């Protein structure tokens, strides 16, 4: 009975021409499976078996011959699919990074524009401060107060004498201001330098008859910030 069942499981003769290959290895294995089971059981139980179908034997040989090529092709196909998937994910990640980078760049540009807008009044204020500083420097060059310099020059030329304490008393300024006025008077050529001896006094270089001209020159220096002499 078992032999009859196994024999009934033997596939029928295929009408496909022998030179036409099977579609897939799986199909060939499924077609040859009953014959292989029948052959193995028959050899183990010493059953008398009929000769296997020639078509089945040919298909088994075809499977054995093409198995390596099929496995290699399948492995190549799987590897290509994985590579394509990885490339797709990488391109998507790169696109996201580019989008984030563009967003950060736009934020940076907006921040720079906002800082420039806020710092524009400060820049103008700094320019005004620099102009004021330059003006104060010119005033400092003239003694900080032009009227003090003119008054000191008038007193020195009229009295034809000069020292720090004398200017402090007659111009009514502090000791440090009197020293600065002495330096300015020397720079503008009203008085001479400090003598070599400690007891010596500075020499007044402008006589009384040139007082008005010298005062006009000093007034031009104070108002214009330059010396024409």
The domains found in the chain, sorted by start residue, are 2-79 (no CATH), 142-224 (1.10.10.10)
If one compares 65 and 32, the residue with the highest pLDDT of the two is 65
Q: Say what percent of the chain tops pLDDT 90.
A: 0
Taking residues 145-161, report their average pLDDT. Answer: 83
Assess whether pLDDT exceeds 80 at residue 212: yes
- At residue 42, the pLDDT reads 52
Chain Cα centroid distance, residue 36: 72
Distance (Å, whole) CA 109 – CA 24? 62
Q: Say what percent of the chain tops pLDDT 70.
A: 63
- At residue 123, the pLDDT reads 74
If one compares 205 and 37, the residue with the highest pLDDT of the two is 205
Classified as helix, coil or strand, 191 is strand
Q: How confident is the model at residue 10 (pLDDT cuts 50, 70, 90)?
A: very low
pTM (2 decimals)? 0.37
Angle at the Cα of 193 from the Cα atoms of 190 and 198, rounded to 5 degrees: 130
Nearest to 149 by CA among 225, 228, 229: 225
The H-or-E segment that residue 126 falls in is helix 54-141
- The radius of gyration of the chain's CA atoms, rounded to the nearest angstrom, is 58
- At residue 143, the pLDDT reads 47
């Amino acid at each position: 009975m078992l032999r009859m069942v196994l024999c009934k499981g033997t596939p029928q003769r295929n009408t496909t021409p022998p030179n036409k290959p099977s579609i897939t290895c799986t199909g060939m294995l499924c077609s040859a499976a009953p014959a292989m089971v029948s052959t193995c059981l028959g050899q183990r139980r010493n059953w008398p078996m009929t000769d296997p179908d020639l078509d089945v034997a040919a298909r088994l040989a075809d499977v054995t011959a093409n198995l390596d090529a099929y496995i290699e092709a399948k492995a190549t196909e799987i590897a290509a699919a994985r590579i394509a998937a990885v490339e797709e994910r990488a391109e998507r990640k790169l696109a996201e990074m580019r989008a984030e980078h563009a967003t950060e760049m736009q934020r940076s540009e907006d921040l720079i524009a906002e800082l420039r807008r806020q710092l524009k009044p400060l820049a103008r204020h700094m320019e005004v401060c620099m102009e004021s500083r330059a003006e104060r420097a010119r005033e400092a060059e003239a003694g900080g107060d032009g009227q003090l310099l003119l008054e000191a020059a008038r007193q020195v030329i009229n009295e034809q004498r000069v020292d720090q304490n004398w200017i402090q008393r007659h111009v009514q300024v502090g000791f440090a201001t009197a020293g600065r006025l002495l330096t300015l008077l020397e720079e503008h050529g009203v008085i001479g330098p400090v003598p070599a001896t400690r007891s010596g006094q500075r020499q007044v270089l402008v006589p009384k008859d040139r007082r008005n001209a010298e005062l006009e020159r000093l007034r031009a220096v104070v108002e214009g910030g330059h010396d024409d002499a």
